């Protein structure tokens, strides 16, 4: 297997979309994806995040993250990714994924199209969020994969819990993995969730 082809290549076609944050996608590459329950962050944290996002745009404009210099990129990820990860790991919200049946619904969904649509890497199902390393197959869009995971589990978990309404926060976080060293770093980060009570599966992609 040519592992070099699994990682971000600046010379290959790159699709960029955005809502509150930019989403970069390249076919056949490893992506690190995170999504969370709709109630996983309290309103005070969400207001803090939105305040800081407005301040960031005031200072730097609405720039693509890849155009920032290294220090600005580090600040961006510290403010809008690493900090959110810390909040999530603190276990706010209903944390329904701690319950065995909702957790199993999520695990089954992640495995369901492994092979036909994507290669599934290491993943963690924590109480209020999910981390996944995944390689979409050529011709399969990452957004379609994540939408399928979230749509199916929203319906099945709500049914199990006898509830209705929004289960997941609409927007996910995704990041194209740039190197084998970076992949290993993400794998270590995901696997560390085991010590926090998350369900973790390790699947090697190289």
What pLDDT digit, counting tens, does each position of 39-50 carry?
887 667 777 777
Give yes or no for residue 196 having a pLDDT over 80: yes
Lowest mean per-residue pLDDT among 8-22, 66-80, 88-102, 164-178 = 8-22
Q: What integer pLDDT is reported at residue 1 of this predicted model?
A: 47
CA dist list (Å): 77 to 64, 144, 206: 13, 25, 26
Considering the entire predicted model, what is its pTM?
A: 0.78
Domain boundary assignment for the chain = 3-40+94-201, 42-90
Q: Which residues of the chain form beta strands (DSSP E)? A: 15-18, 22-25, 31-36, 118-125, 129-136, 173-176, 199-201
* 187 against 81, higher pLDDT: 187
Following DSSP, what letter does each residue of 158-173 receive, concatenated? Answer: HHHHT--S--B-S--E
Give yes or no for residue 74 having a pLDDT over 90: no
Tell me how crowded residue 20 is: count the other CB atoms within 10 A of its CB.
10
What pLDDT digit, counting tens, does each position of 123-177 carry?
999 999 999 999 999 899 999 999 999 999 999 999 999 999 999 998 888 989 9
Average pLDDT over residues 111-128: 97
Query: Encoding tokens for residue 51?
Result: 């305040």
Lowest mean per-residue pLDDT among 7-16, 21-30, 70-79, 179-188 = 7-16
Q: Are 179 and 186 contacting, i.e. CB atoms less than 8 angstroms apart? A: no
CATH topology of domain 3-40+94-201: Alpha-Beta Plaits (3.30.70)
Question: Which band of pLDDT confidence, cut at 50, 70 and 90, is reported for residue 90?
Answer: low
Q: Are 22 and 74 contacting, i.e. CB atoms less than 8 angstroms apart? A: no
């Amino acid at each position: 297997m040519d592992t070099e082809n699994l990682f971000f290549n600046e010379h290959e076609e790159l699709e960029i979309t955005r809502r509150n944050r930019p989403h970069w996608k390249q076919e056949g590459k490893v992506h690190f994806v995170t999504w969370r329950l709709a109630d996983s962050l309290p309103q005070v944290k969400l207001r803090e995040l939105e305040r800081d996002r407005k301040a960031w745009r005031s200072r730097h404009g609405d720039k693509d993250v890849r155009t920032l210099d290294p220090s600005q990129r580090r600040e961006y990820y510290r403010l809008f990714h690493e900090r959110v990860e810390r909040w999530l790991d603190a276990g706010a919200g209903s944390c329904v994924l701690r319950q065995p049946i909702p957790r199993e619904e999520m695990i089954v969904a992640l495995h369901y199209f492994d092979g036909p649509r994507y290669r599934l890497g290491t993943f963690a199902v924590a109480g209020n969020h999910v981390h996944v390393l995944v390689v979409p197959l050529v011709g399969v869009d990452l957004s379609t994969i994540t939408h399928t995971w979230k749509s199916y589990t929203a319906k099945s978990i709500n049914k199990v819990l006898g509830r209705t309404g929004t289960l997941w926060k609409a927007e996910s976080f995704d990041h194209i993995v740039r190197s084998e060293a970076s992949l290993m770093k993400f794998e270590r980060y995901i696997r560390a969730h085991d010590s926090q009570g998350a369900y973790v599966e390790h699947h090697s992609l190289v």
